Amino acid sequence: MTFAPRGPAQRPLTGQVALITGASRGIGRAIADTLACAGASLLLAARDAERLARFAASLRTEGHAVWHHPLDVADEESVRDFVRKGVAHFGRLNMLVNNAGIGCFGPLTDLSSEQWDRVMAVNVRGPFLLCRECIPHLRKQRPSFIVNIASVVAVKGYPNQSAYGASKHALLGMSKALAKEVHADGIRVHVLCPGGVDTDMATQARPDLERTDLIQTQEIADAVRYLVTRRGVAVIDELHLHRQSSPPWA
Ligand SMILES: NC(=O)c1ccc[n+]([C@@H]2O[C@H](COP(=O)([O-])OP(=O)(O)OC[C@H]3O[C@@H](n4cnc5c(N)ncnc54)[C@H](OP(=O)(O)O)[C@@H]3O)[C@@H](O)[C@H]2O)c1
């Protein structure tokens, strides 16, 4: 069987470099795969070094350019080091996808302050650190992109999700302010607010849900691809993604 060569229309991100956090599984893995197929070179981060290395190796086998390193996005020195080494590897940075995030579920009265601090550290401090370190590099490309993966909980309240919801409200608020701060520099800041997506996190948070009711990771990845390949899209403060037949919780 012969395949048609992948031309510029299929590979619009050729020559561009994307940094994706939480890239080893779930939504981040689908985003990485999709941006690689669109031609981007990848800087990939997650904490589990082995799982990340396995995924990076599988992408390289398919001919994609990938640099990876284990990273806890909440750790300031590690983020600084990751961005410095990653950008040096490919020589530039065109887009940052802040996808890494953790859940924290249960009644507020049962939460420990350590649980609260950890979800804030990963879901808010992490994207803040990544944005701060990447923006000087993104300013050198026009346009360039930041895509922050928030959640429907960034705009709605759900029982047993106070810490997680607070963290995603904070991420949305930070993103809205940042979008205006860096607009003149040609950096476009987008926020995705998906409902339930079929990943480990959704299984952990809502084991009662039918997987067929959940959004597929590829649908989120397609939305990211859309945003970073549209030079004309100015700023979408919030892009809400739900299945057409959304149940009431979505
Ligand atoms: N699934 C949903 O229903 C849903 C809906 C809306 C929004 N979201 C958001 O989408 C994002 C991805 O969620 P997911 O469902 O794909 O989750 P997931 O399946 O649990 O995957 C999370 C990814 O983030 C990485 N990660 C976790 N903590 C990290 C840290 N401190 N530093 C670096 N990497 C870290 C994980 O790898 P390691 O464990 O190896 O670090 C993994 O690669 C999150 O921000 C989540 O809040 C999810």
Q: How far from chain centre, in Å, is Cα 125?
A: 14
d(CA 178, CA 118): 23
Determine if ligand 1 sits within 6 Å of the CB of residue 165: no
The torsion defined by the Cα of 114, 120, 126 and 132, in degrees rounded to 10, comes to -130
Determine if ligand 1 sits within 6 Å of the CB of residue 99: yes
Mean pLDDT of 229-236: 66
Secondary structure (H, E, C), 45-95: EECCHHHHHHHHHHHHHCCCCEEEEECCCCCHHHHHHHHHHHHHHHCCCCE
Ligand 1 centroid, distance to 149 Cα (angstroms): 9
Q: What is the pLDDT of residues 135-187, one digit of tens each?
A: 999 999 999 999 999 999 999 999 999 999 999 999 999 999 999 999 999 99
Instruction: Tell me what percent of the residues of the chain surpass a pLDDT of 70.
Output: 90
Angle 73-79-82 from CA coordinates, rounded to 5° = 120
d(CA 8, CA 238): 29
Catalytic residues: 164
Instruction: Tell me what percent of the residues of the chain surpass a pLDDT of 90.
Output: 83
pLDDT at 242 over 60: yes
Bridging pattern class, strands 144-149 and 187-194: parallel
d(CA 150, CA 241): 11
Mean pLDDT of 227-248: 65
The span from the first CA to the last CA of the chain, in angstroms, equals 43
The torsion defined by the Cα of 227, 232, 234 and 238, in degrees rounded to 10, comes to -30
Tokens found for residue 79: 């983020």
Closest-CA residue to 224 (of 180, 199, 247, 191): 191
Residue 106: what residue type?
G
pLDDT interval class at 231 (50, 70, 90): confident
Tokens found for residue 107: 């009644």
pLDDT interval class at 205 (50, 70, 90): confident
Model pLDDT, residue 1: 42
Write down all domains in the chain, each with its CATH number in brackets. 17-241 (3.40.50.720)
pLDDT at 2 over 90: no
d(CA 186, CA 184): 5
pLDDT at 62 over 90: yes
Ligand 1 centroid, distance to 24 Cα (angstroms): 9
Mean pLDDT of 84-94: 98
pLDDT at 238 over 90: no
Residue 27's H or E segment, with its range, is helix 26-37
Ligand 1 centroid, distance to 114 Cα (angstroms): 19
pTM of the shown model = 0.94
Ligand 1 pocket: which of 34, 47, 68 to mutate (most atoms within 8 A of CB): 47
Q: Ligand 1, residue 198: give the atom nearest the CA.
A: 1
Q: What is the pLDDT of residues 5-14, one digit of tens each?
A: 556 778 999 9
Tell me phi and psi for residue 75, to 5 degrees. -95, 110
d(CA 138, CA 8): 23
